[in-house]
Amino acid sequence: MSIDPVIIFKEEAYEHLENLENALLVLEESPRDAEQIAAAFRAMHTIKGSAGMVGFDHLSYFTHHIESFFERVRSGELMLNDEHIRATLLAKDHIELLLEKTPPSKESMAVSETLIQQFRRWADLPTEGSPAKSTAATSANTETEQRILKITIKPSKECFKDGFDLLPVMRELSALGSCHSSAHFNKTLTFDSADDYRDIDIFDCHFFLTVLLATEASQSSIDDVFLFVADDWSISTEELDPDEAYRLGDLLLAEGAINQQQLDSILQQQPKLGEVLSGSGAAAQEDVEQALEQQKFLRSQQETQQSRSVPSIKVPQPKLDALMDKVGELVTLQSFLEQKARELNDEGLNTIAETLMQLSSDLRETVFDIRMLPIGTLFGRFRRVVRDLSHELGKNIQFVTEGAETELDKVMLDKLGDPLIHLLRNSLDHGIEKPEQRAANGKPEQATITLSAAHNQGQILIKVKDDGAGINTQKVRQKAIEKGLISATDELTENQIHQLIFEAGFSTADKVSDVSGRGVGMDVVRTSIDSLQGKVHIKSDAGLGTEIQILLPMTLAIIDGLLVNVAGESFVIPLNIVNECIETYASEKCVERDTTLVKHRGALVPCVSLRKMFSLAGTAPAIEQSVIVKVGEETGAITVDEVVGQFQTVIKSLGQLYRGVSGVMGATVLGDGSIAMVLDVSELLESIQS
Amino acid sequence: MNEMKPTSLTIYDLDALQNQYIMESYWSGALVINLALIEEFDSAGLQWLTLVKKNQQARGHSLTLSDVGDDLKNAMALLGMHSLLGVAHVN
Amino acid sequence: MSKTILVVDDSASVRQVVSMSLKSQGYQVIDAVDGMDALKKIEGQKINLIVSDVNMPNMDGITFVKTLKAKPEYRFTPVLMLTTESEESKKAEGKAAGAKAWLVKPFKPDVLLSAVAKLA
């Protein structure tokens, strides 16, 4: 039970390769030996099947083609020749290589393709692309608006005899939303005499179901429920109009319990339709009762739906982006109007500028709001990862999410998925101890991982928290010294040491573990969060657990910035990292190990001169301005000629030409049409530290 | 009054249950099926209950189900048979 | 009450992966290397679902299902066949023998589990 399937698979694969080789040796002499051809086919067939199941996808793909070739040889459509046998021996060696090296290198994948080409040509199969066909489709569960569906399920008559039970299918279907079923028994069943009853084959299925399902699930997840029965059962789905009042008569008509004529004549008699219908004998009492229940269910669903849904329209994202762009331009222009108004000191103009500012900032908020999605849309995906991984790792974990309703810019949300999964995997793999170990340490066997999101002072705070072992400070320190990140003599606080795990190239896992991503460390997480203008911080208590905090801005598209000037060029510093501006005299600066330092509140902070950094012309004025910035735990100064002032700005991504320029994250168009670079301050600070 | 108290309601039990019903209970009027001991059941089993109910009703007799556990009630509702069987819908 | 699933496949690694994922969901698993072995091992046992490979030595999947379905105690037991694309043609034969559901190898464990949930 506890033996790694991969090890079993490899042993088995080598055994099959040996069988293949033996078969090939015989086939060289007698190429028509059916037994040996079957053996060769079986070897490829089995390796292909097992490989895909233990994660050797490329190997599975490769052997699939050799197998197809031998399939044709086996069926007598192809006759083996020496060339075929030589190539198969090569393929056998190649499989051995693929068994040892996962994931396969680019070179070995190229070798695979060359061999595959050859075998395909011989087998005379049209060239095709990917192996994707071989995996059963796992349908994407895209969630949609809630709909009310009426699903009619007519099982095959023999379904019970075939071993199909409706209950598992119905359980799965009912998990997709709230549901109400009615069974409709075959009207041809009669119970008039004992013989009638005895004639009923109780092993046949004598009813069909109508299921009303109020669900947000997509059609594909509904189809998925009927995966195995779709061929033999009749399944039809109809979307019900949520606004329609489903009258009893209509429901009965839809079930075929009465016909239109009967309904019309009864409707003319008016009140208490239910009683009239059953009283008149037009519909059986049980049908009326079931229809009444359906009606009750529909009404309750309609009520809940109406109470929470307001009419909405779908808009393609590019249109929203365009709107955002325009609002951005308006915001920029408004900043300059405000500046001009102040310069002209015209009261009337000032009033207009202020009103416009209020208006454009309201407009900005509204547009932001439209682009926002609740972070909960990501949580579902995580839940599954945690569940699968905890099984895989044999850990008992309770996954708690909080603040699913917290909204984030959609663009950010898309980029947040991978780093968060990485953090969760890390927690699961390295943070959480095995249940035995937890019990031994007096902790509950079930560990808890909490993923929470919340608004925090105009920013979004996301936390991934576990009650695992915490970070082994000594180990991290040791590793950081080995990697040359710190020197053995550096005096660091425990907290400072913990942050080191985010440094490039750092990985705490002693062995490269498949789970937390093939040895890729937390630096990837930091890089992703950096690119979102966010900050990441870790807190850990040995034995008690670890908490990772991610602080993100509300949006990427518009930021509040500080406009500065150097040598006539404009730059923008994101305002959320600016602490204050100070004047710096050339004489106050000192240089230590190639780094310029300025004095700030009694301490020396490293300082970047934009003039030097971007090789701008001219000489610095005697009194420069230094903008004190704080990125994460790092404080630094950016020295400029002049600080112009605050304004809101729209970031545009840079063209290909500037993409490689370090220290710049984007550009913005100023009111006068000129362009200002938006500085990537964390990159700037890194550049002076290295 | 006649009572049946099956321990299992699956397709494998139907032959025996049907036999018992026809031999012992078919002619005796009101019938109670006590479901307290049911450990396993499936759709075929629930269909059989419904067929018996219909048969009893058609002949002016009754079928009362007693000691219906929540699992069974849920399953009856999933198959839309709860109202036919006269069992109240849970949750 | 946990359900018992019979897993028949000549590949040890497939058996391992399949049983591990089934056991993780609380199913009881009996595994066998081929049809012969399976018939021996389930003698007198109650089985809720059979998961069987098609291509196996000694007794292949289809013959196995046919033999099994002939026994009264297993006549209604659902069968999920594991197959590969190259065996598509065997589907009709398998259906006639009494197999109802098919999964194409290789598949991911969660695909198997969702299939099993629909059948057992």
Chain A interface, best mutation among C105, C107, C116, C119, by max A CB count within 10 A: C105
3 state SS for A297-365? HHHHHHHHHHHHCCCCCCCCHHHHHHHHHHHHHHHHHHHHHHHHHHHHCCHHHHHHHHHHHHHHHHHHH
Contacts of C18 in chain A (CB under 8 A): 53
Give B15→chain C minimum CA distance, Å. Answer: 12
pLDDT at C78 over 70: yes
pLDDT at B6 over 90: yes
Quickly state the pLDDT bin for C117 (edges 50, 70, 90).
confident
Domain that includes residue C90, residue range: 4-119
Quickly state the pLDDT bin for A155 (edges 50, 70, 90).
very high
Is C117 within 8 Å of chain B by CB? no
Domain that includes residue B47, residue range: 2-85
Give A34→chain C minimum CA distance, Å. Answer: 15
Mind listing the pLDDT tens digit for each residue in C61-77? 899 999 988 888 888 88
Helix H or strand E segment including A119: helix A106-123
Q: Which range among A88-97, A493-502, A658-667, C25-34 shows the weakest confidence by mean pLDDT?
A: A658-667
- CATH code given to domain A147-307: 3.30.70
Give A471→chain C minimum CA distance, Å. Answer: 29
Average pLDDT over residues A325-329: 79
Put simply, the chain A residues between 489 and 528 with a CB less than 8 A from any chain B CB are: none
In this prediction, residue A510 carries a pLDDT of 47
Average pLDDT over residues A72-86: 86
Mind listing the pLDDT tens digit for each residue in A406-426? 888 877 888 888 888 888 888
Q: Per the CB < 8 Å rule, is B11 touching C76?
A: yes
Residues in CB range of C107: below 8 A, 6 or more apart:
A52, A53, A135, A136
Is C24 within 8 Å of chain A by CB? yes
Which of A684 and A571 is assigned the larger pLDDT? A571
Mind listing the pLDDT tens digit for each residue in B50-85? 999 999 988 888 899 999 999 999 999 999 999 889
pLDDT at A154 over 90: yes
Residues in CB range of A27: below 8 A, 6 or more apart:
A33, A36, A37, A40, A80, A85
Long-range contacts of A582-588, Cβ-Cβ distance < 8 Å, separation of 24 or more: A582/A625, A582/A626, A582/A628, A582/A637, A583/A623, A583/A624, A583/A625, A583/A626, A584/A623, A584/A624, A584/A625, A584/A626, A584/A637, A584/A639, A585/A622, A585/A623, A585/A624, A586/A620, A586/A622, A586/A624
Quote the CA–CA distance of A534 and A462 in Å, as a whole number: 11
pLDDT at B16 over 70: yes
Q: Which residue of B has its CA nearest to C74?
A: B12
Mind listing the pLDDT tens digit for each residue in A447-464? 999 999 987 766 788 999
Quickly state the pLDDT bin for A183 (edges 50, 70, 90).
very high
pLDDT at A621 over 90: no
Q: Read off the CATH number of the domain in which C28 is found.
A: 3.40.50.2300
Quote the CA–CA distance of A586 and A583 in Å, as a whole number: 10
Quickly state the pLDDT bin for B43 (edges 50, 70, 90).
very high
Average pLDDT over residues A304-329: 73
Structural Rg of chain B based on CA atoms: 12
Helix H or strand E segment including A378: helix A376-393
In this prediction, residue A135 carries a pLDDT of 32
Contact A466, A448 (CB under 8 A): yes
Quote the CA–CA distance of A172 and C79 in Å, as a whole number: 19
Quote the CA–CA distance of A42 and A78 in Å, as a whole number: 17
**Per-residue tokens: A45:** 């067939």
**Per-residue tokens: A446:** 């079930």
Neighbour-count burial of A618, counting CB atoms closer than 10 A to its CB (0-12 exposed, 13-18 middle, 19+ buried): exposed
Q: Architecture of domain A375-553 in CATH?
A: 2-Layer Sandwich (3.30)
Quote the CA–CA distance of A263 and A388 in Å, as a whole number: 54
Mind listing the pLDDT tens digit for each residue in A337-374? 887 888 888 888 888 888 888 888 788 778 877 777 78
Is C55 within 8 Å of chain A by CB? yes
Q: Per the CB < 8 Å rule, is B39 touching C73?
A: no
Q: Per the CB < 8 Å rule, is C1 touching B39?
A: yes
Find how far residue A430's CA is from the centre of its chain.
Answer: 22
**Exposure string for A363-397, b = 16+ CB within 10 A, e = fewer:** bbeebbeebbeebeebbeebeeebebbbbbeebeb
Q: Which of A188-197, A496-505, A652-661 has maximum average pLDDT?
A: A188-197
Average pLDDT, chain C: 85
ipTM: 0.94
Q: Give me the CATH topology for the region A5-134.
A: Four Helix Bundle (Hemerythrin (Met), subunit A) (1.20.120)
User: If we measure between CA atoms, which residue out of B70, B77, B43, B74 comes closest to residue A293?
Assistant: B77
**Strand A595-600 relative to strand C79-83: parallel, antiparallel, unpaired?**
unpaired
pLDDT at A8 over 70: yes
Amino acid at position A11, single letter: E
Q: Where in chain A is the domain with CATH 1.10.287?
A: 317-373
- A317-373: what CATH class? mainly alpha
- Coil vs helix vs strand at C3: coil
- A558-689: what CATH class? mainly beta
In this prediction, residue A274 carries a pLDDT of 55
**Phi, then psi, of A197 in degrees rounded to 5:** -65, -45
In this prediction, residue A685 carries a pLDDT of 81
pLDDT at C52 over 90: yes
User: If we measure between CA atoms, which residue out of A221, A139, A127, A210 comes closest to residue A177?
Assistant: A221
Residue B90 forms part of a structural domain? no
Percent of chain A with pLDDT over 70: 82
Name the residue among C24, C85, C120 with its Cβ closest to that of A168: C120
Residue B91 forms part of a structural domain? no
Average pLDDT over residues A21-27: 89
Total count of domains within chain C: 1
Q: Would residue A72 be called left, alpha or beta, if left means φ above 0 and alpha means ψ between -120 and 50 degrees?
A: alpha
Average pLDDT, chain A: 79
Please report which residue ranges of A175-315 form alpha helices under DSSP H.
194-199, 219-225, 248-255, 260-268, 273-279, 285-308
For tokens 């170990």, the residue is A437
Average pLDDT over residues C80-109: 78
| Sign of the torsion angle spanned by Cα atoms A99, A103, A106, A109 | positive
In this prediction, residue A349 carries a pLDDT of 87
For residue C8, the number of C-alpha atoms closer than 13 Å in the C-beta half-sphere is 33
Q: Per the CB < 8 Å rule, is A49 touching C106?
A: yes
Name the residue among A160, A206, A209 with its Cβ closest to that of B80: A209
Length of chain C: 120
Quickly state the pLDDT bin for A244 (edges 50, 70, 90).
low
In this prediction, residue A61 carries a pLDDT of 87
Contacts of C71 in chain B (CB under 8 A): none
Neighbour-count burial of A87, counting CB atoms closer than 10 A to its CB (0-12 exposed, 13-18 middle, 19+ buried): middle
Quickly state the pLDDT bin for A587 (edges 50, 70, 90).
low
Contact A449, A428 (CB under 8 A): yes
**Per-residue tokens: A564:** 């500065």
Q: Which range among A50-54, A385-389, A557-561 shows the weakest confidence by mean pLDDT?
A: A557-561
Total count of domains within chain B: 1
Contacts of B18 in chain A (CB under 8 A): 202
Average pLDDT over residues B18-44: 89
Name the residue among B54, B75, B80 with its Cβ closest to that of A182: B80
Q: Which residue of A has its CA nearest to C81?
A: A228
Chains near C with 3+ CB pairs less than 8 A apart are A, B
